[in-house]
């Protein structure tokens, strides 16, 4: 049975809404849901159906509002120093071990003298950072953000306005040798520079 153009638009809108529910990234979920709601508005106009138009117009506005908040410069991001052997940190790392190893294949449990941060978004844990101090240099061993928040610009904040958490701890330089290409590309994107295979970020410059 052949579908009419109007039915095809309706099926496309439905598929986009279903696809948005399968997204693990908050930002991607909002973007796909936004596109789906816009297509549903078009579907409602083609029928025409006022309830479909009004409902999905409202959904589109809500998605735009949440996306604007997600990328706002005032997004509530944080980095909280924590003891490297704190039970909360160790439990967090264990629960995300499989995902962590996709970017840090050789990562091991933090050492007693490591510097550690819990990364937060809106007051909730969103990731963790672990590094080994060497004088004024912090050698990063882990920079991990949960999948749902990887589009929330936590890295840009941490190595930009949020870098005070490092300088307050006495560090002037961050350095690392990324264990994966994905991690390397991410760090280059947030301001690190390549120095003979080692990625370096000079703080306060």
Give domain limits for the chain. Answer: 5-70, 77-202
For residue 74, pLDDT beyond 70: no
The reported pTM is: 0.72
Q: Are 150 and 25 in contact (CB under 8 A)?
A: yes
Q: Name the fold adopted by 77-202.
A: Aminopeptidase (3.40.630)
At 6-39, the pLDDT tens digits run 888 988 989 998 888 887 677 788 888 999 999 9
What distance in Å separates the CA atoms of residue 61 and residue 84, rounded to the nearest whole number? Answer: 43
Q: Where are the alpha helices (DSSP H) in the chain?
A: 5-21, 26-46, 50-70, 87-95, 97-103, 154-158, 164-167, 181-189
At 140-154, the pLDDT tens digits run 999 999 988 877 678
- Predicted local confidence at residue 21, as pLDDT: 81
Residue 47 banded pLDDT, cuts 50, 70, 90: very high
Q: Are 173 and 202 in contact (CB under 8 A)?
A: yes
């Amino acid at each position: 049975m052949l579908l009419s153009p109007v039915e095809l638009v309706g099926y496309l809108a439905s598929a986009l809404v279903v696809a948005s529910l399968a997204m693990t990234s908050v930002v991607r979920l909002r973007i796909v849901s936004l596109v789906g709601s816009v297509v549903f508005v078009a579907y409602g106009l083609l029928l025409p159906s006022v309830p479909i138009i009004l409902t999905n117009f409202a959904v589109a506005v809500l998605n735009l509002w949440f996306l604007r908040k997600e990328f706002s410069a005032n997004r509530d991001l944080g980095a909280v120093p924590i003891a490297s052997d704190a039970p909360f940190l160790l439990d967090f790392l264990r629960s995300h071990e499989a995902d962590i190893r996709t970017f840090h294949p050789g990562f091991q449990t933090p050492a007693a003298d490591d510097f550690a941060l819990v990364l937060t978004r809106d007051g909730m844990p969103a990731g963790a950072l672990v590094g080994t101090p060497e004088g004024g240099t912090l050698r990063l061993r882990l920079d991990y953000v949960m999948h749902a928040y990887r589009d929330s610009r936590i890295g840009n904040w941490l190595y930009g306005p949020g870098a005070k958490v490092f300088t307050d701890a006495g560090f002037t330089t961050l350095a690392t040798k990324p264990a994966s290409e994905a991690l390397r590309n991410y760090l280059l994107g947030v301001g690190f520079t390549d120095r003979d295979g080692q990625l370096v970020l000079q703080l306060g410059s």
